[in-house]
């Protein structure tokens, strides 16, 4: 059964809807008010909530419901679920209080009922779904506490709701838009693999990032992760890498994390990419959301700060990117085009005397000689102006090679950064993070 | 000779002062207008610049000058220097155009003249000095292009002016104040070692960070670096770690970078700490500027987001920090004090049901059992309120152990972060960066 009822429902029931945002059921209802489809609050104590007709039970809703969200105490969930038979296709159990706190039996019961009545279940103990294309937001977090990223092409799959909220906050800050964001929690039915399979075919999703603590069905996971990574950029962040981490992951979701070394070597073998920490995942997601990946490992660094060029060259080396020497003929030509005191090496050092045009000159000369470019523009010198973004954009159109920027965030930088990012050129706050962004775009 | 004439001058001459900020000599003059001491612009074409009496030559200034800044073309520097004999104690040669672009002979000449006339020289090709305690700012960068950090206790020593400006931008953003910031460039006289020696005794400096590309006198460097690191927290970021990086560092400053592996193993042997990238240096500087380092490696993580706890536990393991099991008696007590569904492990998982008080309960129970604490507060749940910073501050007063926070930057977070940091509790935007901050505070 397709997961369209989950990702693109036309009608939603909320069991546990409440009248105010002091209750989670009120927060979810408020977030659902923006949904493009039909919303049915369920609460036996009200006939109306936030302006919507409210039903004593899901059974009382006249139409068949695509998606039902349950936000009631764990102990009530089995009975609620039974009442949903023949009424709904898919259920999000947002409530916690299951295997993650030792209530394995209750969780198994819910799982069994779900199978018997033939509904797909997301959760329990999960954050649910954010799909800005449908203005669909089932999170129990008020907007003021978690501002959502705008609409975009990156999908985020997270076992942990806490990490999902952190990823969304960081992506918003990184100017990276979202296609789908989903927190699947204890995964008694729909798991990471089912979600990968769906996103693989989802036309609004061009890059998938996934935070994982544990995997239920290893073989299925590898199959689906491989499937999606062959079709779209796909990056995993695995938590629980060490002994203490492993213990923590176990207690947190009630699934065993497994030996990290084994996980790591298997996914590597299948060509599935892995980020080593939170920031690396965000930096990669941003790059892959902005630009298309490309083949090769030859990197050219063009900088107006010598030291920043050196730090990025160091980081390239750490990742196996090749900061290859300039071709002799090009070095000679650039020597004629540039003032004698510019550094005609790789990194190319345009010094504090830089002018906007110098970046363009270097790009034009070298565009056929490298697979990707890191441009460092320290904007504290007069020669860097607001014209730079447009000039860069014109120079790299038709080049079809990844170009990333490092600009430190200070003073005049904000406008430059926002202008570049509007034109889908990602900007990073440190030389090393720019390298990590470019690395995600290069296949080698 | 003490470097007080450089770091704490009472009188400054600026050779190459200009009338507008379109010229570097105008930018420096404008920045010098705030200086607490006396400023003498030197320019034969003006009798007044920016409201200050201007002198045709430094010789015409009636008093003896502590510090003279030269911002004239490289070729003029030898003659200017000769005129400063018996007139000044110390000279900053901000001008570029020396060994860094192959003009080794010119640089040697300047060095020789400096020795003959008995002045100390900073530079050439250097950024100069920022000492907010004296409102002293010799940078040729306008404030709008590089907003300076506020007054504080961290000193920054950088060979590269570009990196110095990036470090200052990042420290400002990290809410970390500066005691002295100095860019020493080609280092024909005053080098990193002299500066370390000075900062070692400087009462306003409590932590020193240093960006290095190459070292002139290795033995002196080790001696002085060891001296300062035995007295104050001291961290180095070494650029030019790899083949491509090494080449870049060579061309950028005209000094040979040397084999990084040898450098690395020597400084490790002498107990000198090293950051592996730009962000790690900033994260460490912030922690060490806010709190005093402490002994031990046992870390307790208290979180309201399971996944964030796991990621930080992973990062602790990567750095050899011990996320040690809770003592049995304490675990039992916390089990009674907390709701049954809280995770009583390390990390302690206070779940989305967290209240501010829970952090205090955990800290009070465990303050004698661990050497440092990471507190993760995902502020998107209702239970985290603006009372938290004050409560934490009260709980950790007299504890004398490092405490760092991770709070993702989003929505309500900004006020929480700024409140915590006013109370000298450093906050980091990712779980891993919080660990790197704490690591800098723990000696093990």
**What integer is the mean pLDDT of B4-25?**
96
Å between A102 CA and nearest CA of chain B:
8
Q: Which domain holds residue A158?
A: 146-290
pLDDT value of residue A240? 86
Chain A residues with beta carbon closer than 8 angstroms to that of B74: none
Contact B408 A170 (CB under 8 A): yes
Average predicted confidence (pLDDT) for chain B: 93
Å between B175 CA and nearest CA of chain A:
13
> Same structural domain for residues B346 and B434?
yes
- Tokens at B278, concatenated: 């730009």
Å between A147 CA and nearest CA of chain B:
6
Contact B141 A379 (CB under 8 A): no
Contact B411 A211 (CB under 8 A): no
In a mutagenesis test of the A interface, which of B103, B301, B380 is the best target, namely the one with the most A β-carbons within 10 Å?
A: B380
Tens of pLDDT, residues A190-239: 999 999 999 999 999 999 999 999 888 889 999 999 999 999 999 999 99
Q: Please say whether the beta carbons of B25 and B71 come within 8 A.
A: yes
Contact B165 A408 (CB under 8 A): yes
Contact B304 A163 (CB under 8 A): no
**Nearest CB to B241 within list A243, A247, A314:** A314
**Nearest CB to B307 within list A163, A170, A410:** A163
Considering only alpha carbons, which residue of chain B is nearest residue A339?
B101
**Nearest CB to A309 within list B159, B248, B341:** B248
Tens of pLDDT, residues B392-412: 999 999 899 999 999 998 767
> Same structural domain for residues B286 and B401?
no
Contact A145 B379 (CB under 8 A): yes
Q: Is the pLDDT of residue B244 over 60?
A: no
pLDDT value of residue B326? 97
Among candidate residues A365, A419, A369, the one with its CA nearest the CA of residue A389? A419
| A401 in a structural domain | yes
**What integer is the mean pLDDT of A339-346?**
92
Considering only alpha carbons, which residue of chain A is nearest residue B413?
A145
| A74 in a structural domain | yes
| A134 in a structural domain | no
pLDDT value of residue B247? 56
> Same structural domain for residues B257 and B233?
yes
**What integer is the mean pLDDT of A401-429?**
93
- Please tell me the distance from the alpha carbon of residue A110 to that of residue A94, in angstroms, as a whole number: 13
Among candidate residues B356, B159, B352, the one with its CA nearest the CA of residue B255? B159
- Please tell me the distance from the alpha carbon of residue A439 to that of residue A372, in angstroms, as a whole number: 9
Å between B223 CA and nearest CA of chain A:
25
**Nearest CB to B141 within list A160, A213, A380:** A380
Of B290, B317, B346, which residue is a domain's last?
B290
Among candidate residues A314, A304, A342, the one with its CA nearest the CA of residue A326? A342
CA distances from B108 to A308, B102, B114, B127, B187 (A): 27, 11, 10, 20, 11
Among candidate residues B380, B388, B370, the one with its CA nearest the CA of residue B409? B380
Helix (H) or strand (E) holding A66: strand A65-70
> Same structural domain for residues B439 and B311?
yes
**What total of structural domains would you count in chain B?**
3
Considering only alpha carbons, which residue of chain A is nearest residue B22?
A382
Q: Is the pLDDT of residue A407 over 90?
A: yes
pLDDT value of residue B256? 47
Q: Please say whether the beta carbons of A65 and A11 come within 8 A.
A: yes
- Please tell me the distance from the alpha carbon of residue A372 to that of residue A363, in angstroms, as a whole number: 10
In a mutagenesis test of the A interface, which of B23, B310, B318, B353 is the best target, namely the one with the most A β-carbons within 10 Å?
A: B310
- pLDDT band at residue A58 using 50, 70 and 90 as cut-offs: very high
> Same structural domain for residues A355 and A303?
yes
> Same structural domain for residues B86 and B227?
no
> Same structural domain for residues A378 and A417?
yes
| A345 in a structural domain | yes
**What integer is the mean pLDDT of B57-69?**
96
User: B341 versus A295: which is more confidently predicted?
Assistant: A295
| B131 in a structural domain | no
Contact B165 A380 (CB under 8 A): yes
Q: Please say whether the beta carbons of A171 and A157 come within 8 A.
A: no
Chain B residues with beta carbon closer than 8 angstroms to that of A240: 310, 314
The residues, ordered by sequence, that sit 6+ positions from B69 with a Cβ below 8 Å of its Cβ are B12, B13, B14, B15, B16, B28, B91, B92, B94, B128, B138
Considering only alpha carbons, which residue of chain A is nearest residue B149?
A410
How, if at all, do strands A48-49 and A52-53 pair?
Answer: antiparallel
Average predicted confidence (pLDDT) for chain A: 93
Neighbours of A366 (CB within 10 A): 20
**What integer is the mean pLDDT of B344-372?**
96
pLDDT value of residue B245? 52
Among candidate residues B350, B361, B418, B409, the one with its CA nearest the CA of residue B384? B350
Residue B195: which CATH number?
3.40.50.261
Å between A266 CA and nearest CA of chain B:
19
Q: What is the DSSP letter of A148?
A: P
Largest CA distance in chain B: 81
- Please tell me the distance from the alpha carbon of residue A38 to that of residue B182, in angstroms, as a whole number: 63
> Same structural domain for residues A281 and A324?
no
Contact A340 B101 (CB under 8 A): yes
Q: What is the DSSP letter of B297?
A: -
Chain A residues with beta carbon closer than 8 angstroms to that of B245: 310-311, 313-314, 317, 323
Q: Please say whether the beta carbons of A93 and A189 come within 8 A.
A: no
**What integer is the mean pLDDT of A348-369?**
96
User: B341 versus B225: which is more confidently predicted?
Assistant: B225
**Nearest CB to B317 within list A169, A242, A429:** A242
> Same structural domain for residues A18 and A122?
yes
Chain A residues with beta carbon closer than 8 angstroms to that of B308: 160, 162-163, 166
The residues, ordered by sequence, that sit 6+ positions from B209 with a Cβ below 8 Å of its Cβ are B154, B155, B156, B157, B167, B234, B235, B236, B237, B275, B281, B284, B285
CA distances from B261 to A207, B241, B242, B275 (A): 38, 8, 9, 14
Of A97, A126, A155, which residue is a domain's last?
A126
- pLDDT band at residue B254 using 50, 70 and 90 as cut-offs: low
Is residue B82 exposed (0-12), middle (13-18) or buried (19+ Cβ within 10 Å)? exposed
pLDDT value of residue B265? 87
Contact A351 B96 (CB under 8 A): yes
State the helix-helix crossing angle for A306-318 and B161-173, rounded to 10 degrees: 80
Considering only alpha carbons, which residue of chain A is nearest residue B300?
A244
Contact A277 B352 (CB under 8 A): no
Reported ipTM: 0.91
In three-state secondary structure terms, A132 is helix
Chain B residues with beta carbon closer than 8 angstroms to that of A349: 248, 251-252
- Please tell me the distance from the alpha carbon of residue B442 to that of residue B233, in angstroms, as a whole number: 11
pLDDT value of residue B1? 53
Å between A243 CA and nearest CA of chain B:
8
In three-state secondary structure terms, B402 is coil
- pLDDT band at residue B258 using 50, 70 and 90 as cut-offs: low
Å between A4 CA and nearest CA of chain B:
28
Sign of CA dihedral B366, B333, B431, A317: positive
Å between B137 CA and nearest CA of chain A:
15
Contact A252 B211 (CB under 8 A): no
**Nearest CB to B314 within list A100, A242, A430:** A242
**Nearest CB to B378 within list A162, A172, A432:** A162
Q: Is the pLDDT of residue A81 over 90?
A: yes
> Same structural domain for residues A228 and A100?
no
Q: Is the pLDDT of residue B237 over 90?
A: yes
Å between A62 CA and nearest CA of chain B:
35
**What integer is the mean pLDDT of A374-387?**
93
The radius of gyration computed from the CA coordinates of chain A, to the nearest angstrom, equals 25
pLDDT value of residue A266? 87
Q: Is the pLDDT of residue A86 over 90?
A: yes
Chain B residues with beta carbon closer than 8 angstroms to that of A161: 305, 352
Q: Is the pLDDT of residue A257 over 60?
A: no
- Tokens at B77, concatenated: 């520097």
Helix (H) or strand (E) holding B303: strand B299-303
Contact A349 B252 (CB under 8 A): yes
| B46 in a structural domain | yes
| β partners of residue A90 | A67, A120
Chain A residues with beta carbon closer than 8 angstroms to that of B432: 277-279
Å between B267 CA and nearest CA of chain A:
19
Chain B residues with beta carbon closer than 8 angstroms to that of A168: 410
- Please tell me the distance from the alpha carbon of residue B311 to that of residue B317, in angstroms, as a whole number: 10
Please give the sequence-ordered ranges of beta strands (E in DSSP) within B217-296, or none if there are none.
Answer: 234-238, 273-275, 294-295
Among candidate residues A124, A22, A44, A43, the one with its CA nearest the CA of residue A77? A124
**Nearest CB to A317 within list B242, B305, B379:** B242
Q: Is the pLDDT of residue A38 over 50?
A: yes
The residues, ordered by sequence, that sit 6+ positions from B355 with a Cβ below 8 Å of its Cβ are B383
| A140 in a structural domain | no
Contact A314 B96 (CB under 8 A): no
CA distances from A258 to A189, A419, B322 (A): 20, 44, 20
Among candidate residues A366, A231, A207, the one with its CA nearest the CA of residue A287? A207
Percent of chain A with pLDDT over 70: 96
In three-state secondary structure terms, B285 is helix
Q: Please say whether the beta carbons of B6 and B184 come within 8 A.
A: no
CA atoms within 13 A on the CB side of B226: 12
Tens of pLDDT, residues B117-171: 999 999 999 999 999 999 999 999 999 889 999 999 999 999 999 999 999 999 9
In a mutagenesis test of the B interface, which of A311, A383, A407 is the best target, namely the one with the most B β-carbons within 10 Å?
A: A311
**What integer is the mean pLDDT of A86-93?**
97
Percent of chain B with pLDDT over 70: 96
Contact A317 B244 (CB under 8 A): yes
**What integer is the mean pLDDT of A66-88?**
97
Contact A311 B347 (CB under 8 A): no
Least confident among A196-210, A242-256, A323-337: A242-256
Contact B314 A240 (CB under 8 A): yes
Contact B97 A341 (CB under 8 A): yes
In three-state secondary structure terms, B398 is coil
Considering only alpha carbons, which residue of chain A is nearest residue B97?
A341
Tally A–B CB contacts below 8 A: 266
> Same structural domain for residues A434 and A300?
yes
Specify the residue for token string 């565009």. A367
pLDDT value of residue A252? 55
pLDDT value of residue A444? 80
Residue A39: which CATH number?
3.40.50.720
Contact A213 B307 (CB under 8 A): yes
> Same structural domain for residues B160 and B281?
yes
| A131 in a structural domain | no
The residues, ordered by sequence, that sit 6+ positions from B197 with a Cβ below 8 Å of its Cβ are B224, B227, B228
**What integer is the mean pLDDT of A354-383?**
96
Largest CA distance in chain A: 81
């Amino acid at each position: 059964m397709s997961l369209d009822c989950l990702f693109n429902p036309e009608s939603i029931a909320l069991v546990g809807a409440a009248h105010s945002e002091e209750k989670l059921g009120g927060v979810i209802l408020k977030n659902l008010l923006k949904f493009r489809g039909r919303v049915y609050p369920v609460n036996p104590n009200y006939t109306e909530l936030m302006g919507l007709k409210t039903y004593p039970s899901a059974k009382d809703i006249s139409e068949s419901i695509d998606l039902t969200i349950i936000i009631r105490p764990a102990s009530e969930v089995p009975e609620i679920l039974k009442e949903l038979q023949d009424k709904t296709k898919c259920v999000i159990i947002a409530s916690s209080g299951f295997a993650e706190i030792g209530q394995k039996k209750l969780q198994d019961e819910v799982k069994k009922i779900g199978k018997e009545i033939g509904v797909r279940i997301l959760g329990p103990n999960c954050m649910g779904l954010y799909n800005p294309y449908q203005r669909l937001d089932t999170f129990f977090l008020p907007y003021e506490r978690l501002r959502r990223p705008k609409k975009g092409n990156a999908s985020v799959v997270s076992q942990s709701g806490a990490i999902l909220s952190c990823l969304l906050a960081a992506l918003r800050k990184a100017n990276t838009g979202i296609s789908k964001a989903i927190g699947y929690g204890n995964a008694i039915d729909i798991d990471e693999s089912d979600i990968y399979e769906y996103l693989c075919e989802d036309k609004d999703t061009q890059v998938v990032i996934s935070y994982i603590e544990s995997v239920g069905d290893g073989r299925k996971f590898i199959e689906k992760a491989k499937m999606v990574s062959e079709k779209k950029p796909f990056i995993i962040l695995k938590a629980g890498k060490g002994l203490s981490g492993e213990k923590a992951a176990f207690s947190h979701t009630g699934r065993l994390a497994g030996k990290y070394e084994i996980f790591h070597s298997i996914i590597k073998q299948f060509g599935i990419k892995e980020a080593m920490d939170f920031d690396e995942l965000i930096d990669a997601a941003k790059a892959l959301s902005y630009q298309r990946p490309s083949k090769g490992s030859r990197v050219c660094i063009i900088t107006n700060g010598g030291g920043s060029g050196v730090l990025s060259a160091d980081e390239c080396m750490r990742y196996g990117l090749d900061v290859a020497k300039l071709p002799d003929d090009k070095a000679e030509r650039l020597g004629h085009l540039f003032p004698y005191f510019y550094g005609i090496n790789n990194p190319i050092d345009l010094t504090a005397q830089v002018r906007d045009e110098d970046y363009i000159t270097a790009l034009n000369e070298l565009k056929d000689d490298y697979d990707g470019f890191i441009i460092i523009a320290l904007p504290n010198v007069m020669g860097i102006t607001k014209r730079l973004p447009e000039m860069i954009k014109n120079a790299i159109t038709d080049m079809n090679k990844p170009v990333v920027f490092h600009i430190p965030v200070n003073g005049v930088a904000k406008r430059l950064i926002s202008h570049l990012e509007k034109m889908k050129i990602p900007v990073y706050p440190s030389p090393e993070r720019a390298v990590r962004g470019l690395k995600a775009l290069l296949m080698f």
